[in-house]
Chains A and B, each alone.
Chain A
Amino acid sequence: DAKTTQPDSMESTEGETVHLPCSHATISGNEYIYWYRQVPLQGPEYVTHGLQQNTTNSMAFLAIASDRKSSTLILPHVSLRDAAVYHCILRVSSNTGYQNFYFGKGTSLTVIP
């Protein structure tokens, strides 16, 4: 199972910058940190991923701690469309050596107008 810990829920107001934390204290050196988000009745959507360096794209900024035991997904200027469940996932290896994505409960982000 995924070895990440996230808050169950967070709330923000439109236009604010949101910091979504994720703890992964037992992360291995070759495990990537992925973030996906899911809105009701739809499949998860890729947001971003990283290994050691901070990364940024059009959706978000991913800040990874220097010891890699935690990361923070930063969503600038959130809108109502950013309301979703955000999943922090480690890409782990199965016993066949094949790597899978395992999802946890994630953080449910509520955005208030």
Chain B
Amino acid sequence: DPKIIQKPKYLVAVTGSEKILICEQYLGHNAMYWYRQSAKKPLEFMFSYSYQKLMDNQTASSRFQPQSSKKNHLDLQITALKPDDSATYFCASSQEDWGSAETLYFGSGTRLTVL
């Protein structure tokens, strides 16, 4: 069973619309993240949350807003969608025990296409 659930798996949107990407983790982790991967580009770090608190934001645009209603839940709201937002969005989590065993676990991603 997948421990990090991302929904939906595929999403098609029109330019200017708004979408919410869902992420839930059942690993008991305290930190959650969003990454984005455009076609043939490296994974790009977007946000990190720890105990539902924003720790780091490397996304220039305010159109991307994480939402954490519970510790194991981190959604990503994207407003005023543009074709350049088309990418696969990966959610990840970690224990946030910053010792030697810290490891990121990734979900299978939401593939967003903006027309």
A residues adjacent to B (C-beta < 8 A): 32, 36, 38, 41-46, 49, 51, 87, 91, 94, 96, 98-106
Q: Which of B11-19, B59-67, B68-76, B97-105 contacts A (4 or more CB under 8 A)?
A: B97-105
Kindly identify which residue among B42, B88, B92, B104 contacts A104, using a CB–CB cutoff of 8 Å.
B42
Given A42-B108, A43-B90, A44-B106, are A100 and B42 neighbors across the interface (CB < 8 Å)?
Answer: no
Q: Cβ of B100 and Cβ of A32 under 8 Å apart?
A: yes
Given A51-B100, A96-B56, A98-B50, are A45 and B106 neighbors across the interface (CB < 8 Å)?
Answer: yes
Q: How far is the CA of A97 from the CA of B107 in the complex (A)?
A: 25
Q: Which residues of B contact A96 (CB under 8 A)?
A: 55-56
CB distance from B66 to the nearest CB of A (A): 15
Given A100-B48, A101-B45, are A43 and B55 neighbors across the interface (CB < 8 Å)?
Answer: no
Interface bits B84-115 vs A (CB < 8 Å: 1, else 0):
00001010100000101011111111010000
Q: Is B27 an interface residue (CB 8 A)?
A: no
Closest to B4 in A: A43
What are some 30 contacts across the A-B interface (CB < 8 A)?
A: A38-B43, A41-B88, A41-B108, A41-B109, A42-B108, A43-B4, A43-B107, A43-B109, A44-B43, A44-B90, A44-B104, A44-B106, A45-B106, A46-B103, A46-B105, A49-B100, A94-B55, A94-B56, A96-B55, A98-B48, A98-B56, A99-B102, A100-B45, A100-B56, A102-B45, A103-B35, A103-B43, A103-B45, A104-B42, A106-B42
Closest to A104 in B: B42
Closest to A2 in B: B42
Q: Which residues of A contact B44 (CB under 8 A)?
A: 103
Max chain B C-beta neighbours (<10 A), residue from A91, A100, A106? A100
